[in-house]
Structure 1
Amino acid sequence: MTNDNATLVALIGRPNVGKSTLFNRMVKRRDALVDPTPGVTRDRHYARVSWEEHPFILVDTGGIDDEDDTITNHIRHQALLAIEEADVIFFLMDGREGLTPSDIEIVDLLRRTEKKVFFIVNKIDSPEIEDALLAPFWELGVDQLWALSGDHGYGYQTLMEGLLPYLEKTDLQTELPDNTMRIAFLGRPNVGKSSMVNAIIGQERMVVSDIAGTTRDSVDTLVTRDPYTYLLIDTAGIRRKGKTTDKLEKFSVLKALKALGRCDIALVLIDAEEGITEQDTKVIGYTQDQGRALIVLINKWDLIKDDKKRQEQLMQEVEIAIKFIPFAPVLKVSALTGTGIKRLFPEIGKVHRQFHQRFPTAALNRLLADAVARHEPPYYHGRRLKFYYTAQLGTAPPLFAVVASDPKGIHFSYQRYLTNCFREGLGLDKVPVRLLFRERSGRKK
């Protein structure tokens, strides 16, 4: 698991300047993990990326804000978001189209930030046309323009070398006691994240110490409750007053993304009175994208405790929102009255144990053999698929390699069947389980 405070790099720019193309180029080295939670986040607008062993989070802000707004307003909001939340900003302009009034307006906004901004002129495919296409953009008066072809890769290496100094790993990581359970509190603004942290800290037998400066995006509290230690990461964070608008509050997902890299278990809070929103389901999806364990907390339950109809309706909403993540525990709590908080720690303990559990290889191979015997694999190119052996690759979340005759031929439904067999056979009923299908090494195709 990564515990780095990864730099957050935001891509901004008008539609069709090539943000998605650059995003895909930067992300292309994704491992072919089979994720048993399909449909959770079909629209992937961020990724955890590494360049020369420096991890960072890349966000295409155009994908997050889908408001039907005028283009200039739309991109202005993206720019404000990037200025507020990102560490580094990639501002893309279209070299073929030339400089537009919208570009000039955004550059004026970006000039006011102390964040590092890369002014990138995209769609420049070769050195022969670079000078001619860059010429109109020099009137912006910026120190440096980066010529790039996101499509063909021209200028990409130079751009990434320019980014590298801003990706230095921070040395703010605090030494934590062994086996500390790292828990991030996620959710929309005003859902009660800080109140929940305070309610937990207020429990008896808690020894509390604040950890200053672990990251500027969250407030960390170390809590000891014999014999266990917990790091509580409150992503409500500290906003500078007057620097943000209601419109930007929906982008609290960016804080969530950073916190997810540092936690084992994500506690996503839902407001019982307001119900579950699209933003809630997005944050829930992000937890699974990053393979975190998840507990859903329905906060402010006291507000609907006498309304049976509303309770049933809310539980149905939650069930629909997490239908691809049926293993996630759902708890009804109230930060105000303390309802349900005592149940939280035993649940965190169970989830944490499963999340970090290791299994002997012999037991895993028996489990695989039984699963294949119970439900034979399908044929592929006229031959029945064979499964040779399995082994655990890692924990947090539990990850298993399954070696097969032709991994490409394993239908999604059979992959899901095997994932469920591992989940049931190993008692991993509360955490994500991932299988990686591999071909036997040394075999000729």
Structure 2
Amino acid sequence: MALPVVAIIGRPNVGKSTLVNRLCRSREAIVHDTPGVTRDRTYQEGYWADRTFRVVDTGGLVFDDDSEFLPEIREQANLALAEAAVALVVVDGQQGCTAADQSIAEWLRGQGVPTMLAVNKCESPDAGLAMAAEFWGLGLGEPFPISAIHGAGTGDLLDKVVSYLPPTEEDEGEEPIQLAIIGRPNVGKSSLLNAVCGENRAIVSPIRGTTRDTIDTTIEREGKTWKLLDTAGIRRRRSVSYGPEYFGISRSFKAIERSDVCVLVIDALDGVTEQDQRLAGRIEEDGRACVVVVNKWDAIEKDSHTMPAMEKELRAKLYFLDWAPMLFTSALSGQRVQAIFPLALLAVEQHRRRVTTSVVNEVLTEALSWRTPPTSRGGRQGRLYYGTQVAVRPPSFTLFVNEPRLFGETYRRYVERQIREGLGFEGTPIKLFWRGKQQRDAEKELARSQTRGR
């Protein structure tokens, strides 16, 4: 059963994202002095007493201005309210009640959603009560004086919040699959998310840096629950100044780390850039499963030979992701966007797959019969005794040999190719660890010494 939603609403710079981090005991929401940092609606999980709920952070609401992003921010707030069990309105106690607060209160009264009022920046308990009293005139119920940055008053606030939440049932289902949408700015990540979800889940704009927070969305596909993580576009480090974009990119890298599978979005018009290669390398380095999605395919003039030719060209530059399936899509038209999920599910299954030692050694024996290990200039030949899978996520194998230095990169790549050809593992990187006899003897001696010392 889906968790009940608490929507955080308010004008810019009243401390909404700080309160979200406080309620969810995290630092996920980007907090910065600049107005308009939060644009899309972003979700985190919170809990209080025996209740668990989802907190949705929204952008700062402004009703008398239709400049850049403000209409889209209002649309995202509307969508947040549509699914909310309660709306928590945040105001600034130090600034007092403003015309913008009154506009938000008037708008909320027509939404039909239960509403609470949090008066933020009330660090002093005595002064906070006086600050909060000014907001009774908004007609949104009792104003709760709080300090989001220090936590004062948030316990009483949460006691009231959970009273609005419907009863929930324990969900015994499996954990959702975490799918991170990764790419440079303006390759169509947010458009892809919207096309997949069938709604305007994220703000889409040709302006670089529109998405700043990592946007979590939960949907059902292929009989599984997926948590989609739309991330900020990642530019070169030297191009990024310290501020909202810096924090957004940092969260994008964290999204890669916590994902089960990454969708690397490439712009079909630009092809593979140096930054795309860096992102691909980061995905492989972190050991994540991956699907490469080539977006804006509708903008390419093509015939029956265009797709194979372009795939060959793209793979030549993404050679370290040669194990990742590639899909040509158009987020604008919806072409093949739902085909992402079968490929992603296969990649996740392979990422978690374990193979018995006997099967691993059948593949290794076959590889040795086709190509023997190299011989050093001194006449020493490498010997591969046996191998075993030691981990999953990603699949990892330890190969026991006489001397790892005798196995150069060329032969190691050959063994990896043979393992892939014999065992599959489409959509996931694999790791090989080469252990020599001296390493094994040292480990055995260490184990003996530890046993004698007990």
Aligned residues: 258
Q: Contact (CA 8 Å) 1:189, 1:249: kept in 2 or not? A: no
Match of 2:322 in 1: 326
- How far off its partner does 1:343 sit? 1.7
Cα distance in 2 for residues equivalent to 1:429 and 1:442: 35
Seq. identity, %: 35
- How far off its partner does 1:408 sit? 1.9
Q: Contact (CA 8 Å) 2:176, 2:224: kept in 1 or not? A: yes
Q: Which of 404, 413, 418 pairs up with 2:401?
A: 404
Match of 1:10 in 2: none
Q: Contact (CA 8 Å) 1:185, 1:193: kept in 2 or not? A: yes
5+ unaligned residues in a row in structure 2: which ranges? 1-25, 29-170, 202-211, 234-239, 446-454
Cα distance in 1 for residues equivalent to 2:279 and 2:435: 30
Cα distance in 2 for residues equivalent to 1:389 and 1:345: 36
Q: Contact (CA 8 Å) 2:188, 2:265: kept in 1 or not? A: yes
Q: Which of 225, 237, 240 pairs up with 2:221?
A: 225
Q: 1:218 to 1:249 in 2, by over 3 A?
A: closer
Is 1:421 the counterpart of 2:421? The answer is no
Q: 1:286 to 1:177 in 2, by over 3 A?
A: farther
Match of 2:161 in 1: none
Q: Contact (CA 8 Å) 1:304, 1:311: kept in 2 or not? A: no
Residues 327-342 of structure 1 mapped to structure 2, 5 A cutoff: 327-342=323-338
Q: Which of 413, 431, 434 pairs up with 2:431?
A: 434
Is 1:386 the counterpart of 2:376? The answer is no
Is 1:181 the counterpart of 2:180? The answer is no
**Structure of higher RCO (CA pairs closer than 8 Å, 6+ residues apart):** 1
Cα distance in 1 for residues equivalent to 2:333 and 2:417: 38
Match of 1:274 in 2: 270
Q: Contact (CA 8 Å) 1:377, 1:384: kept in 2 or not? A: yes
TM-score calculated relative to the size of structure 2: 0.51
The residue identity in structure 2 corresponding to 1:442 is D
Aligned to 2:333, the other structure's residue is in SS state coil
Cα distance in 1 for residues equivalent to 2:416 and 2:398: 11
Aligned to 1:384, the other structure's residue is in SS state coil
Q: Deviations over 1:158-189 (max 9, x none)?
A: xxxxxxxxxxxxxxxxx995253211101112
The residue identity in structure 1 corresponding to 2:371 is H
Q: Contact (CA 8 Å) 1:299, 1:334: kept in 2 or not? A: yes
Cα distance in 2 for residues equivalent to 1:342 and 1:198: 12
Structure of higher CA gyration radius = 2
Cα distance in 2 for residues equivalent to 1:395 and 1:434: 10
Is 1:262 the counterpart of 2:261? The answer is no
The residue identity in structure 2 corresponding to 1:271 is D
Cα distance in 2 for residues equivalent to 1:389 and 1:435: 13
Q: 1:275 to 1:366 in 2, by over 3 A?
A: closer
Aligned to 1:393, the other structure's residue is in SS state strand
The residue identity in structure 1 corresponding to 2:174 is D
Q: 1:279 to 1:402 in 2, by over 3 A?
A: same
- How far off its partner does 1:262 sit? 0.7
Cα distance in 2 for residues equivalent to 1:356 and 1:318: 27
Q: Contact (CA 8 Å) 1:291, 1:396: kept in 2 or not? A: yes
Of stretches 330-339 and 366-375 in structure 1, the one that deviates more from structure 2 is 366-375
Is 1:344 the counterpart of 2:340? The answer is yes
Q: Deviations over 1:40-98 (max 9, x none)?
A: xxxxxxxxxxxxxxxxxxxxxxxxxxxxxxxxxxxxxxxxxxxxxxxxxxxxxxxxxxx
Match of 2:364 in 1: 368
The residue identity in structure 1 corresponding to 2:256 is L
Cα distance in 1 for residues equivalent to 2:302 and 2:327: 17
Cα distance in 2 for residues equivalent to 1:326 and 1:417: 14
Aligned to 2:253, the other structure's residue is in SS state helix
5+ unaligned residues in a row in structure 1: which ranges? 8-174, 209-215, 238-243
Aligned to 1:401, the other structure's residue is in SS state strand
Q: 1:397 to 1:176 in 2, by over 3 A?
A: farther
TM-score calculated relative to the size of structure 1: 0.52
- How far off its partner does 1:250 sit? 9.8
Residues 24-63 of structure 1 mapped to structure 2, 5 A cutoff: none
Q: Contact (CA 8 Å) 1:268, 1:295: kept in 2 or not? A: yes
- How far off its partner does 1:273 sit? 2.6
Cα distance in 2 for residues equivalent to 1:248 and 1:221: 21
Q: Deviations over 1:101-151 (max 9, x none)?
A: xxxxxxxxxxxxxxxxxxxxxxxxxxxxxxxxxxxxxxxxxxxxxxxxxxx
Cα distance in 2 for residues equivalent to 1:328 and 1:6: 32
